[in-house]
Amino acid sequence: MTKRGCAALATSKAAALRVLDEPAFVLHHYDWSESSRILEVLTRHHGRVALVAKGAKRPTSNLRAVLLPLQPLSLCYGGDAEIRTLKSAEWAGGHVMPSGEALLSGYYLNELLLRLLARDDPHPALFDTYRQTVKVLASGLDNTIAPLLRAFELLLLRDIGFLPDLSVQTLTLQALQAGSNYALFAEGGLRAVEVGVALRGSDWLQLHAALANDAPLTTLLRCCAEFAPELRSALQTQLRNLLHYHCGVSSLRTRQVMMELQAL
């Protein structure tokens, strides 16, 4: 191949490795050097990506005020290594930073995504769900936080393939009976139980129908908000056990912080 051909191939390859105007959210960051940071970001078309933001810690850097969690961003980055290089970042607008309990809940969502999503595995529908969820958190309606988290957890588990069909018993494929009690097990899916924390078949079927709706987050949020307090608590316990199992932990750090603050 001629020098001109090699140069053209290299230019073409470099262009292919550039990502422009990518919708994204910062999930986590940590120091990389005296002036730079490593970012874990969730992008719409490329999944979870690691980026180095060179000079982002400098007082004069324009990135300091932009690279914040729970804020919609538009990123340009490039490179073919495991950690790409951030070229530019702009705030995409839409809402302000959540605060109080909503802020901690947003960090909880970020921890789930960091633990459960592999890098470079696109989940565009999940990205849109996350964007909607963060927008609701930023609205300041505290009474929606608990049902909103349950709705997001259900959609997250479904999107990554860890949520069984909620209309049948997993091992037997028998249809759920409206008046019977069923529990969600990490390794066995839904199965009938006589005692312990469980939901009725009618409740699981209601959630199943909400997941099949064209606007699942909104429908699930309404569904979970209409559940009685004891039913919402039971659902939280069921989903928490499943999430902890797949995260490989007995407790998530952000949830522990939330519980400690609630105790105070």
For residue 228, what is the domain's CATH number?
Answer: 1.20.1440.120
DSSP code for 193: -
Q: Which of 136, 99, 110, 98 is nearest to 42 (CA)?
A: 110
For the segment 11-35, what is each residue's pLDDT rounded down to a tens digit?
Answer: 444 445 799 999 999 999 999 889 9
The answer to whether 138 and 181 have CB atoms below 8 angstroms apart is no
Domain check: are 189 and 247 in the same one? yes
39 and 77 housed in the same domain = yes
Domain range for residue 56?
8-91
Residue 1 in domain: no
Residues 28 and 114 in one domain: no
What is the sign of the dihedral through the CA atoms of 126, 133, 242 and 147?
negative
Same domain as 143, residue 59: no
> Does residue 245 sit in the same domain as residue 129?
yes
Give pLDDT, residue 259: 64
CB atoms within 10 A of CB 198: 21
Q: Is residue 166 part of a domain?
A: yes
From 66, 91, 116, the end of a domain falls on: 91
- 115 and 148 in a common domain: yes
Count other C-beta atoms under 10 Å from residue 134's C-beta. 25
Domain count, the chain: 2
User: Which runs of E-coded beta strand occur in 1-108?
Assistant: 19-31, 37-43, 47-53, 73-78, 83-91
- In sequence order, the 6+-apart residues with CB closer than 8 A to the CB of 232 are 146, 147, 150, 224
Strand order through the sheet with 189-192: 189-192, 181-185, 199-200
If we measure between CA atoms, which residue out of 142, 139, 184, 166 comes closest to residue 220? 166
Identify the pLDDT of residue 250. Answer: 80
Q: Give the model's pLDDT for residue 263.
A: 61
**Are 128 and 214 contained in the same domain?**
yes
Instruction: Give residue 262's pLDDT.
Output: 59
CB 239 within 8 A of CB 154: yes
- Whether residue 74 is found in the same domain as residue 174: no
Indicate whether 113 and 76 sit together in one domain. Answer: no
Residue 35's domain is classified under what CATH number? 2.40.50.140
Hey, what are 217's tokens?
């987050």
pLDDT of residue 68: 93
| Whether 245 and 123 share a structural domain | yes
Q: Are 86 and 127 in contact (CB under 8 A)?
A: no
Q: Residue 181: in which H helix or E strand, if any?
A: strand 181-185
pTM (2 d.p.): 0.89
Cβ 69 vs Cβ 54: under 8 Å: no
Residue at a domain's end among 48, 68, 91: 91
Along the 264 residues of the chain, how does pLDDT read in single tens digits?
Answer: 544 443 333 344 444 579 999 999 999 999 988 999 999 999 999 999 999 999 999 988 889 889 999 999 999 999 989 999 999 999 998 888 899 899 999 999 999 999 999 999 999 999 999 999 999 999 988 889 999 999 999 999 999 999 999 999 999 999 999 999 999 999 999 999 998 889 999 999 999 999 999 999 999 999 999 999 999 999 999 999 999 999 998 878 777 666 655 565
Question: Residue 94: what pLDDT?
Answer: 80
Q: What tokens were used for 249?
A: 């932990």
Q: Determine how many CB atoms are found less than 10 A away from the CB of residue 233.
A: 13
* Whether 144 and 243 share a structural domain: yes
Q: Do the beta carbons of residue 19 and residue 76 sit within 8 Å?
A: yes
The residue among 58, 91, 124 that closes a domain is 91
What confidence score (pLDDT) does residue 6 get? 37
d(CA 132, CA 18): 27
